[in-house]
Structure 1
Amino acid sequence: MGEKNFYELLELIRNTRALSKNDLEVRRDLADGKYVYLAPTRVLPKQVYDELAPWRAYALRAVAIGLGMYKGAVVSRAAAALRGMWILHRYGGVVEVALPSGGTPSASKRMPGVRYREATFRDDELVMLHGVRTTTDVRTFIDIARYHGFREGIIAADWLLARGYQRDHILQEVHRMGRFVGKKTVLVCVAHATCLSESPYESLMRAELIQRAVTGWEFQRTIGGFRPDFLFDDFLILEIDGRSKYAERTAEVLLRERDRERALTNLGYVFIRVYPEDLIKHMDEVLRDIERARQARRARPGDAPENAPGPDSGSA
């Protein structure tokens, strides 16, 4: 079965409440377990669901739960998944929603796999997306930062700036909300956000370095026409490589990347390559590897790359 785009997948979601007496085949397939329940009244063919990447399945669950609410809104991480905003993919995580009352329903009325947030919204903070009421881009970032902290907040903030949002506009929206729990974290995320990030994993690495007060690094600094992800102490380059990214690249592109790395190595730069999974599951180990390489270089003074170009962009 060929990979379907998100809009094609949305068309396959069935509303069990809308089934008629004539939908005998669908009812039989439901009884036989050939559909997966994304929400209490929304199902997807199991064969399709089993082939989905976890992040795509999460986004479809967010849509299905949103469609199953009369007045509620999908918020925070789930709102980000609806629009493709960068998040740390917490596969199988709950879908966060908020009710117009600002409160939470009784236990008997709560949907499984859903977390109800006590939040209120101005009319201009809500939009319709894929038929679901959800928060705007900026409000989605604000909720992620205040509910889930600095690391996830800076990932969402970087996404906003990378897509053309202005820092002043984001700050204006933050202050329009008045006082709220987590506002300080939101403001710190905005202060440290950059438009240079190209993936959530670059943003995650930046967040860790900032949060742990690591110094002596630059982000996306241009070196002789190349722009490594991170540069430490003017010699150590950290590159974040996605396995899927390499699967999609042609031999010609990969050859150019090897030539690029060889050119920088010949100038005296040292490379460390990590996968996104390393950053999510083994961040302490990654940081220890970086620190060991830096300490080893400090023990050999005078080994900085010769004729290294000065910084052109990005800084700690």
Structure 2
Amino acid sequence: MGEWKTEIRNELVDVRAEHVARGHLVQLSTSHALARGAYDALKIHQRHWARAYCAGLAVRAAILTGRASAYLNDMWVVNTPLDEVVLVLKSVPPRTTWPSGVRYLQRSLPESRIRRGEAMSTASPLQTFLDIARLDGFTHALVAADWLVQFGGFTPVTLQDLVEREPRFPGKPAARRAARHASTLSESAPEAYARALLIEAGFTDVRANVKVTRWGYRVDLLIDGWLVVEIDGRVKYDNETYGPAHKALLDEKTRADRIGNAGFPILRFAPRYLETNPRDFVAEVRARAERGR
């Protein structure tokens, strides 16, 4: 587990304890909170993880599922707003008693679809994917599906077969479509999400991590065999992951020039842009595609 998770755990405040001053706390569940300064310092995915974790601490029998479960199971997740933490329970409490930002699903899960932990239980990665399809639709489900076929022990074929064998449930068409498009070539959640958005928008030829030019450069997405879409995070220029930032910039300039000169125009987007402006992302790609080479 990442060190930041341990730090969050260590900084949690149990608001059920007596004499807790709540004035400078951000309450993440009915049981736990973080100091405002500590919460504000977290990145978005860390805030979502903390919220999911605290929701798990606040319940006993309920099982976390959906995107909250994906965060806790270290699956790929898109950092769009986490409006609800979803819990599965055989007998759910009256809706009027549900805490703000919590939703219950009434059903029983077989043990094979549950991951038991010391502090809480989550849905298995497969069940998490199916519930993401149910709750969040195709674009989020494809991100989870790409993770499953790369790190979850499934192949695209076995995942498709498992989805088909599932009894009918809300979201099965989205799960079926995500399994059909699942790729072992995606390298990150933002890349998978970008591909999902474009497929959802009607693009029919969107390939992940394709080699182009005689230098064999890999591009994140290639549309219709000629339009390159790159999803660039800041890690590329953090002075650590890819060496000194100035060298990374020069290397990237050389790469972009060679790809462009070979007839492949490049569109670049930050992951956060996809998460906050998915429609604009699709519109910009469509506009460039319609202009042609």
Which range, TM-score by smaller chain? 0.7 to 0.9
Say if 2:39 is the partner of 1:49: yes
Say if 2:260 is the partner of 1:262: no
Aligned partner of 1:153 in structure 2 is 141
Work out which of the two has the higher radius of gyration on C-alpha atoms and give 1 or 2: 1
Quick one: which amino acid aligns to residue 8 of structure 1? E
Query: Is contact 1:241-1:273 (8 Å) kept?
Result: yes
Measure how far apart 1:159 and its partner are: 1.4
SS in 2 for 1:5: helix
Identity %: 30
- For the structure 1 residues 192 and 47, does the alpha-carbon distance in structure 2 shift closer, same or farther, using more than 3 Å as the test? same
- For the structure 1 residues 50 and 195, does the alpha-carbon distance in structure 2 shift closer, same or farther, using more than 3 Å as the test? same
Within 2, Cα distance between the matches of 1:114 and 1:295?
A: 43
TM-score (norm 2): 0.86
1:161-193: CA deviation from partner (whole Å, max 9, x where unpaired): 221522344345445642322222212111110
Say if 2:100 is the partner of 1:112: yes
Where structure 2 has 5 or more consecutive residues not aligned to the other structure, the ranges are: none
Measure how far apart 1:61 and its partner are: 1.5
Quick one: which amino acid aligns to residue 39 of structure 2? Y
Measure how far apart 1:134 and its partner are: 0.6
Quick one: which amino acid aligns to residue 253 of structure 1? A
- For the structure 1 residues 32 and 159, does the alpha-carbon distance in structure 2 shift closer, same or farther, using more than 3 Å as the test? closer
Say if 2:175 is the partner of 1:219: no
Within 1, Cα distance between the matches of 2:207 and 2:264?
A: 14
Measure how far apart 1:263 and its partner are: 1.8
SS in 1 for 2:28: strand
Query: Is contact 2:125-2:152 (8 Å) kept?
Result: no
Aligned partner of 1:210 in structure 2 is 199
Query: Is contact 2:113-2:124 (8 Å) kept?
Result: yes
Aligned partner of 1:10 in structure 2 is 9
Question: Which one of the candidate residues 73, 81, 91 is aligned to 2:71?
Answer: 81
Measure how far apart 1:239 and its partner are: 1.0
Query: Is contact 2:25-2:34 (8 Å) kept?
Result: yes
Within 1, Cα distance between the matches of 2:290 and 2:37?
A: 52
SS in 2 for 1:221: strand
1:174-233: CA deviation from partner (whole Å, max 9, x where unpaired): 456423222222121111100111122211221122223223443221123211112234
| Cα RMSD (Å) | 2.6
Question: Which one of the candidate residues 166, 172, 190 is aligned to 2:179?
Answer: 190
Within 2, Cα distance between the matches of 1:32 and 1:8?
A: 20
Deviates more, 1:48-57 or 1:278-287: 278-287
Within 2, Cα distance between the matches of 1:211 and 1:50?
A: 34
TM-score (norm 1): 0.80
Within 2, Cα distance between the matches of 1:114 and 1:156?
A: 21
Within 1, Cα distance between the matches of 2:286 and 2:82?
A: 34
The number of residue pairs the alignment matches comes to 285
- For the structure 1 residues 283 and 13, does the alpha-carbon distance in structure 2 shift closer, same or farther, using more than 3 Å as the test? closer
